Structure 1
């Protein structure tokens, strides 16, 4: 069974999507439609912009989404997913590719999500940190023992967890995690504490936008970040998308459940190959490839 997986923020690179734009009339049309919807030429930044410009909030999330979704749409008949999943932002790409959301609505929601997250980041100094070499339970226990808000945010693969919260609490947790035996506990260069209670203002804003958006039943199950299980009911999908901003990304658990449900091939759709690497760390026997 084929599982198509869609990357999140951080996968962007200068030149992303350019070759797709140049080789496919359908891709070009969708990229131009995206420029109109967003009100600025995001394609100019994706194709020719600097790493700094690509890191701008209003650019990063829509850019990764567009690269993934447009690539999926140009795969034509070969795109026959038995299941899909996306890492954080990638969940929106997965939902559009699986027909639960239209291209236009998906792009508008991703753009609103990015701006709402940016605003939430500006309220309180907050950050994220990568923790390597500890069991999930140890990381969770340390976070619970530290003063202030700090939580497990991304379960990426066994031995690789990202924590998120108030800057001072994350710093304290990093010291405690190193003392507990972590190989590394490293503050990440991110704008704020994604997938933590610090994103509550963004969650409220996104909830309003999602409530006004029409969702359909996807063509295959979507393994969402919040439950890490197969979901097909549109109302359930909407509820999980809203919770996702303040809840952890259960990527390890999602991949394990996809394999348990019959996934044999994982095809990454979009920029980079980070998810293929994570899948291999979760299950070394899984077959991985990139969509082309």
Structure 2
């Protein structure tokens, strides 16, 4: 006997699940299914949905089942579309599933620049956290923890090393929190997550969109691809302190009037009022630095990064990321993960893949992300990983914001 169960969890998309039922007389199973909608087996013509993505087998109510999800269709207001054929079932996950999210507790993950020699020490006191570094070594092919703890700083600051180091250390911080009294309750209470640039990968891993190992492989390739793209052209980044975004844009426009196309600059990181990062060709960045005071900027800070991240200078990295993402199993996150590209949560795995590929050439919309979280009623947030950059940004936008740092 076969039955179809439409099962819903308040934090997860709807799934259509097939069960092989031993007997209709099983009273215990009937009781277990009392809160679900049980449908008879049916056979419908399956529409052309494109490729479907198979997910790992799981166990529900003690019986083996198979879950499949297919890419999003244009369904108007409908969130779920059911297509059933003999031997297969499919559900469309609306990419806007999390659109109306109501945040109360958030995990925020740092990006490149948060690294510091000595990070990872606290993680060694928690077996589950320490284990992440050991698992990372097998993927990376070197002792990541040794570089995190002992440096040297120049080595840790390199793009190819800092990105994996921050990813692993941030997820280790989750395990440090889990080991704390009441830590698991805090983790369970989190209903939204996001990360600054690189930190978006950490947030997706925390939300179950991909495994720790798959995320680390992507981050490793991302760092290498971005480094190679930076090496291909002379470029840089600089933080402009003390100006609003409109003034920074005017500063960029003025600098761009003096340089050729290969040296143009643009705002790459919208962090918070008074702190915006500009990326571009080296001559353009030098022009920005020279003109900043005339635009009443309080100061400029050249960033210790390989090149003009989040601009067209990173275009060579996109195809490599697309190829890696295409071969990576990505699931719909269990909670909303806010994208750096458009400051929106996405549920469709294929959309997430496209956005992650675009992320390296798109400006980071962190200011809009934090503002939206606060405006939607966020009560408590946690910065997990090295440094306190994110906490500083959140506090600048709301002095009364409740944010706690969890280091590893």
Return the offset for 1:125.
Answer: 0.5
User: Counterpart in 2 of 1:103?
Assistant: 212
- Partner of residue 289, structure 1: 404
| CA distance in 2: counterparts of 1:117 and 1:84, whole angstroms | 24
Greater strand percent: which structure?
2
Indicate whether 1:133 and 2:242 are aligned: yes
Q: 200-209 or 102-111, which moves further after superposition? A: 200-209
Listed one character per residue, the Cα deviations across residues 224-268 of structure 1 (whole Å, up to 9, x for unaligned) are 111112323322222221111011111111001111222111100
2:140 corresponds to: 38
Alignment of 1:189-200 (within 5 A): 189-200=304-315
- Which runs of 5 or more structure 2 residues have no equivalent in the other structure? 1-103, 179-183
Q: Is the 8 A contact 1:127 1:190 kept in 2?
A: yes
Q: Which structure is higher in helix share?
A: 1
Distance 1:82 1:207 in 2: 28
How big is the shift at 1:69?
1.2
CA distance in 2, matches of 1:100, 1:75: 21
Asked if 1:171 is matched to 2:286, the reply is yes
Correspondence for 1:206 among 292, 309, 321? 321
How far does the alpha carbon of each residue in 1:93-131 deviate from its partner, in whole angstroms, 9 at most, with x for none? Answer: 111011111100000000000000110011111001111
Alignment of 1:136-147 (within 5 A): 136-145=245-254, 146=256, 147=259
1:188 aligns with 2:303: yes
Cα shift at 1:176:
3.0
Indicate the residue corresponding to 1:224 in structure 2. 339
The 5 Å alignment of 1:16-27 reads: 16-21=119-124, 23-27=125-129
Q: Tell whether the 8 Å contact from 1:73 to 1:97 is kept in structure 2 after alignment.
A: no
Count of matched residue pairs: 291
Aligned match of 1:90 in 184, 191, 199?
A: 199
Alignment of 1:68-79 (within 5 A): 68-76=170-178, 77-78=184-185, 79=187
Residues 195-248 of structure 1 deviation map (CA, whole Å, 9 limit, x = unaligned): 111000012211211121111111211111111123233222222211110111
Matched residue, 1:236? 351
Q: Secondary structure at the match of 2:277?
A: strand
- Could you tell me how far apart the structure 2 residues matched to 1:186 and 1:2 are? 32
Indicate the SS of the match to 2:227: helix
CA RMSD of aligned residues (A): 1.5
CA contact (8 A) 1:229 1:257 kept: no
Query: Which residue pairs with 1:3 in the alignment?
Result: 106
C-alpha separation in 2, matches of 1:103 and 1:259: 29
Q: Secondary structure at the match of 2:310?
A: coil
Which of 278, 285, 289 aligns to 2:393? It is: 278
Residues 171-191 of structure 1 deviation map (CA, whole Å, 9 limit, x = unaligned) = 112333322221123332321
**3-state SS of 1:192 partner:** coil
Spell out, residue by residue over 1:117-162, the C-alpha distance to the aligned partner (whole angstroms, 9 max, x if none): 1100111110011111111012123323413320101111101100
**3-state SS, counterpart of residue 335 of structure 2:** coil
Residue 384 of structure 2: aligned partner: 269
Which one is further off, 271-280 or 64-73?
64-73
Aligned to 1:12: 115
Per the TM alignment, residue 285 of structure 1 is displaced from its structure 2 partner at its CA by: 2.0
> Which of the two has higher C-alpha Rg?
2
**Mind listing any 5+ residue stretches in structure 1 that lack a counterpart?**
none
